[in-house]
Copies of this chain bind each other. A is one copy, B any other.
């Protein structure tokens, strides 16, 4: 085990999968010679050549559509969308095509493909380099959506995504890239898609999160502990299919749940988690499930005052958790 950054873990994950399976290739804008704008694929172009690390034209529908076709014909593409904010030109290919190939052919076709997208804010990225897209894509049946919060999970889930028979949207938090470090197991540590993980045990209340928010929730749990409140932290890791059993287990255990995400609130993941608990653990609740989310504002502004006002952080989560604890 060695300590690695989140982005190193992802790069290693891609590298190992490409070495393992010659049908794995990478396609996206600037992924080749430039190594990606975040350097996620740094070195892979040299190592695997331009047939397996393809600098695409500036056209997201093309990137995804071509990946679909390649997956049909026996390859396992990893398509990189440079920023999650630029995934919309590819939505027709993702939502109407990739997500429906298996269903519309009653299983005759399936698409083993990964769409990687750096996502989330707190990086002075302004309205178009900060967006969260998980609710939009999780709502779509046929897609799997993964949003790791730690380097180990990032690497393990990336491997799982590459090997998965279905299209997986793999969300990489931009602020986590270099901020979040952690031990990454040596060897082929595949983390299963669809399994949440309790990252900290607790009994008074539950914090449910994913991506960068996991880091903040763990910080908050530490602070709450100092106040004598024992917080359990559940890391969803996979958003779709969601781990309903894990959500209900923690809800029933603590009776108090706070769901945290950066994405806009309306019909977001927190709403779904809340509704799941409502339907299946209503009687176990000691307080309403609470949500701490990005506001319903188009995205995070560039100005730092406004960006801070948008972004959930440890301080805001702590305040909300205290409110929940006191309910």
Which A residues form the contact surface with B (CB < 8 A)? 85, 88-89, 91-92, 95-96, 99-100, 103-104, 127-128, 135-136, 138-142, 240, 242, 264, 266-272, 274-275, 278-279, 282, 285, 287-291, 295-299
Q: Which residue of B is nearest A143, CB measured?
A: B298
Instruction: List B contacts of A264 (CB < 8 A).
Output: 139-141
Q: Are B275 and A271 in contact (CB under 8 A)?
A: yes
A interface SS class: helix
Residue in B242, B279, B285, B291 whose beta carbon sits within 8 Å of that of A279 in the complex = B291
Q: Which residue of B is nearest A93, CB measured?
A: B88
Q: Which residue of B is nearest A127, CB measured?
A: B104
Instruction: List B contacts of A85 (CB < 8 A).
Output: 96
| 28 sample A-B contacts, Cβ–Cβ < 8 Å, listed by A number | A88-B95, A89-B91, A89-B92, A91-B91, A91-B92, A99-B298, A100-B127, A100-B299, A103-B297, A135-B139, A135-B267, A136-B140, A139-B264, A139-B266, A139-B268, A141-B264, A141-B266, A141-B295, A141-B298, A242-B266, A274-B274, A274-B278, A274-B279, A275-B278, A275-B289, A278-B289, A282-B285, A282-B288
Instruction: List B contacts of A136 (CB < 8 A).
Output: 136, 139-140
Count of chain copies: 2
Q: Are B139 and A104 in contact (CB under 8 A)?
A: no
Instruction: List B contacts of A269 (CB < 8 A).
Output: 267
Instruction: List B contacts of A285 (CB < 8 A).
Output: 282
CB distance from A72 to the nearest CB of B (A): 17
6 A-B pairs with least C-beta separation: A88-B92, A282-B288, A274-B275, A271-B275, A91-B91, A271-B271
Select the residue from A88, A242, A270, A295 with max chain B CB neighbours within 10 A: A88
Whole-angstrom distance between the alpha carbons of A100 and B264 in the complex?
14
Whole-angstrom distance between the alpha carbons of A77 and B200 in the complex?
53
Select the residue from A104, A136, A267 with max chain B CB neighbours within 10 A: A267
